[in-house]
Amino acid sequence: MTERSVEHSSFTIERSFKATPEQVFRAFSEPAAKERWFVTADGWPVAEFSHDFRVGGRESGRFSQDGETIYYDDTVYLDIVENRRIIFAYTMTQNDRRISASVATVDIRPEGGGSRLVFTEQAAFLDGLDKLDYRREGWETLIGSLAKEVGETVAAA
């Protein structure tokens, strides 16, 4: 049996966009847009995805890269201010074992003719099954996919 433990951590990712706050917010709020950048951008097969974008609404997805390791996220929206802020709490499981619980804030600020996104996550990583580096890397990739969704040119790595 895995030893029970919890590691608390947080991180912030900031990114400027030429897109307006309304365009960035729409990429989170509209189901088809969210599915494009958040769910299918990495090419992983998706077994299920639901998106109920409202305070108290739930979002969930089940997906796997290799067909053997199954990930499931379960999200509830806690606060939404149109074109400005989204706060949500979510848990992640891997093969039916909870690996983390988090609270995340998406702060969308006007900046020049575009916007600045500030994403902050406070996480509890459980039983050594997940860690900060993995989560941060995952969100950096997702925010890169968000940039493409709102029409940004993304430099090749």
137-154 tens-digit pLDDT: 999 999 999 999 999 875
State the pTM of this model. 0.91
pLDDT in tens, 52-66: 999 999 999 988 878
Domain boundaries, the chain: 6-149
Whose tokens are 């999200």? That residue is: 75
Helix/strand/coil (H/E/C) assignment for every residue in 23-86:
HHHHHHHCHHHHHHHHHCCCCCCEEEEEECCCCCCEEEEEECCCCCCCEEEEEEEEEEECCCEE
Mean pLDDT over the full length of the chain:
92
- Name the CATH superfamily for 6-149: START domain (3.30.530.20)
Output the pLDDT for position 155: 53
Mean pLDDT for the stretch of residues 76-92: 98
